Amino acid sequence: MDSKKIYLTKSGLEDLKKEHEELVKTKRPEVVTRVSDARNQGDLSENAEYVAAREELSFIDGRIDELEELLKQVSLINEVHGANAHSAIELGSEVTLKIDGKKEIYRVVGEWEADPAERKISHESPLGKALLGKKIGESVEVSAPAGKILYTIVSIS
């Protein structure tokens, strides 16, 4: 993995730490037990449970390594709310945008936390890039599969 900073909100960091802890303390020991039990069943060449458990263990170990590497590179996003909110959009900002007369709220987050279903957009996405540094009242135009979409910034918190 490269040494690029991984930007996360406090809750995003907590989620990654919880996932890491769950894998290390619960899931990995369960799968190690499954591998051991399957190994004790005899002929490993025809033992589907052994093969499946080994593959799952390999996947879990890979994810644990990935999470440990990520956690070393985390840079916490400073979330400022209310009266102390910034006048320009930055990582961690919650932004109300007007799109075709409708208002929608988005949060600009790091790529590891992005989740379009929860309206969390990456600062590296086309919309995220276009919004960074913009102020209330400004508009940005972003190319999308359906064509260009105009977003007007209504509020930043």
90-118 pLDDT, tens digit each: 888 899 999 988 999 999 998 888 998 99
Q: Tell me how far apart the alpha carbons of residues 116 and 152 are, in angstroms, rounded to a whole number.
A: 19
Q: What is the DSSP letter of 87?
A: S
49 lies in some domain? yes
Most confident of 38-42, 80-84, 98-102: 98-102
- What domain range is 127 assigned to? 82-156
What pLDDT is stored for residue 33 in this prediction? 94
Q: What is the pTM of this model?
A: 0.68
1 lies in some domain? no
The full DSSP string for 127-148 is HHHHHTT-BTT-EEEEEETTEE
Please state the length of the chain: 157
Quick one: 121 exposed, middle or buried, by C-beta within 10 A (0-12, 13-18, 19+)?
Answer: buried
Q: Which of 37, 59, 76 is the last residue of a domain?
A: 76
What pLDDT is stored for residue 145 in this prediction? 85
